Amino acid sequence: MHTENKIQLAVFDWAGTTVDYGSSAPMVVFEEIFTKAGITLTRAEINGPMGMEKKAHIRSLLSLETASRQWNEKYGRTWNEEDVEHLYEKFEARLAEVVAQFSTPIDGVVETVGRLREMGVKIGSTTGYNADMMKNVLPGAEKVGYIPDCVVTPDVTGMGRPSPFMLFECMRQLGVYPVKNVVKVGDTIADILEGKNAGAWSIGILTGSNLLGLTEEEYSCMSADALAKRKDETVTKYLAAGADMVIDSMRELPAAIEALNNRMAGEALR
């Protein structure tokens, strides 16, 4: 198999993909700051834009019909960019306090990354967190053996997901091209769109994902039939966003990448 027809770079998301099962930290903080502002949102509403740069996420939540209506009722006016900035400041400060508690790698991540490196795959990362937030996430992950080759945040590129520029920056830093040799792996629609907008492969993960929307306790307590239905619905969402593959957990990623390599090798022989 020719090197140019193999995956050479896997770009991971952070919360909900490699650390923080269920993407709990940002969800909890979004819920807290909006509740304090007098706006009640469901978990599904909060999770909808997950994966985006956090200021854009706040803007997206305020744009919801339910949030806009509540804002008008409470403040007697439409929300504006000053409100976005104010909420973001509160979000950033609160997240900095709690994010380190949610930096433990999800089961199977460290072993999978080791296997990928044995396969010659470099490990990139992109995130909706900014660089200051990541300073509180990285030490906990590093302590137990998860150290990506590069970490790119939205403040580095000026644009977050679903734009492709953080992924392109990973490619630039790690010297990997063309983009067909890159796979984006994540747990949100924004992750899938980031990969597709770049022209890379995109893989969605089910277990521990934001899109599945379950805590570890909820996952373990759910009946097999209900969990299977929930996973089927999540697969449909990933595929509708353009995902090339959906895997149950990170442990299945090496086999998924081998499948992509075989697919590219087959296309090259035609």
**Is 27:43 a contact under the CB 8 Å cutoff?**
yes
Same domain, 121 and 229: yes
> Which residues, given as ranges, of the chain have pLDDT below 70?
1-3, 268-270
Query: Which of 205, 211, 27 lies closest to 102 in space, CA to CA?
Result: 27
CATH, residue 259 = 3.40.50.1000
pLDDT of residue 34: 98
Same domain, 206 and 110: yes
- End of a domain among 101, 130, 165? 101
Q: If you ran DSSP here, which 8-state letter would residue 105 be given?
A: B
CA distance 16 to 186: 8
Query: Which of 125, 111, 112, 106 lies closest to 9 in space, CA to CA?
Result: 125
Q: What is the pTM of this model?
A: 0.90
Of the candidates 13, 187, 191, 244, the residue annotated as catalytic is 13
Same domain, 81 and 194: no
pLDDT of residue 1: 34
102: which 2 tokens? 């949610």
Number of domains in the chain: 2
Active site residue 74: no
Query: Which of 29, 141, 175 lies closest to 93 in space, CA to CA?
Result: 29
122-126 and 150-152 beta bridge pairing: parallel
Q: How far is CA 13 from the centre of its chain?
A: 4
Active site residue 54: yes
What domain range includes position 248? Answer: 3-23+105-269
Of the candidates 54, 55, 184, 196, the residue annotated as catalytic is 54
Element (H, E) at 20: none
